[in-house]
Amino acid sequence: MSDKTDFLGLVLRGMAMGAADVVPGVSGGTIAFITGIYDRLLNSLRSFSPTLLLLLKNEGIGACWKKVDGNFLVCVFGGILISILSFAHLISYLLAEFPVLIWSFFFGLILVSGLHMVRQVSQYSITGGILFVLAAVAAYMIGTLTPASLDPTPLMLFFAGSIAICAMILPGISGSFLLLLMGLYATVLQAVKTLDLVVLTIFASGCVVGLLSFSHVLSWLLRKHRDLALSLLTGLMMGALGKVWPWKQTLETRVNSSGEEVPFLEMNVSPFNYESLTGEPAFFLPGLLLMGAAIVMFLAIEWFGKRR
């Protein structure tokens, strides 16, 4: 990072990750991969190890800050925090009022980013193909699971944080959706909206533990078996398309923490049957246009990144 533009660019990337992490079905890891900071993020997180204490003792804070790429982490996670605190209400509102249009945009974004990841594989193999298929099936099946309802005890919140954050840095697996499966999404989202520091502190502690431990595993895979890891991650992303399909019929509803009735169990349907099944307008053409806009936006970001 050499100037204010670099700092701002990283903050904006972090904000995009934060906005994605709020949405059940969209992964912040997907956005990190799209915007070209995925490897750097994993390497930075991997730097947190016991050897860092030795470096602190021998060379001081400055060396540790450089080792963990501190400026980068502050910008990205600052952007994530800003986005989560700012967009929690907005994302909830848009998903409630314009679900087809919002999911159409995310569908196009994930589709084109998956194709982008396929192009990053330098050498295709049968093993990579098998991993791709298995990961896609696993991600799709996770998306069809029926949400449970766990008590938001301190231990459960800590555990949920450690699990959700691992998913948040995996392209294709949504940490928010895993929270929804555990029945804790509404609890955490409400804590963000009301700034419930007790719940947020416990949840964040779990996130820190999960993030620092899992990042080592994922970073090692990308360094030692990059093509296989990319095949696996691409499969996860493609399998997630079933969860973000815009046209869904609600089979069951639930009452959220605000007393509002929201979808609980949904089924993907054809856009041509959507209006007759749900009584809501299908917005087929606007949905396709938003998918196209997401694809164009991604290609523009990719082109701009190559130019820089």
Q: Model confidence over 49-85: pLDDT tens digits?
A: 777 778 877 888 888 888 888 889 899 989 988 887 7
Can you list the alpha helix ranges (DSSP code H) found in the chain?
4-22, 28-34, 38-46, 51-59, 61-67, 70-97, 99-120, 126-144, 154-168, 175-182, 185-194, 197-224, 226-239, 271-278, 284-307
Residue 1: pLDDT band by 50, 70, 90 thresholds? very low
Residues 41 and 219: beta-carbon distance below 8 Å? no
Residues 91 and 274: beta-carbon distance below 8 Å? no
Q: What pLDDT, on the 0 to 100 scale, is given for residue 285?
A: 94
Q: Say if pTM beats, i.e. exceeds, 0.75.
A: no
pLDDT of 4 over the 70 cut:
no
Q: How many CB atoms are closer than 10 A to CB 31? A: 25
Give me the domain span that covers residue 183: 4-245+252-307
The residue among 100 and 220 whose pLDDT is bigger is: 100
Looking at the chain, how many residues does it have? 308
As a whole number of angstroms, the distance between CA 29 and CA 20 comes to 9
Q: What pLDDT, on the 0 to 100 scale, is given for residue 254?
A: 66
| Average pLDDT of span 278-292 | 91
Q: What pLDDT, on the 0 to 100 scale, is given for residue 292?
A: 93
∠ CA 281-239-83, rounded to 5°? 70
pLDDT tens digits, one per residue of 25-44: 567 777 787 777 888 888 88
Looking at the 3D structure of the chain, how many domains does it have? 1
| Average pLDDT of span 285-293 | 93
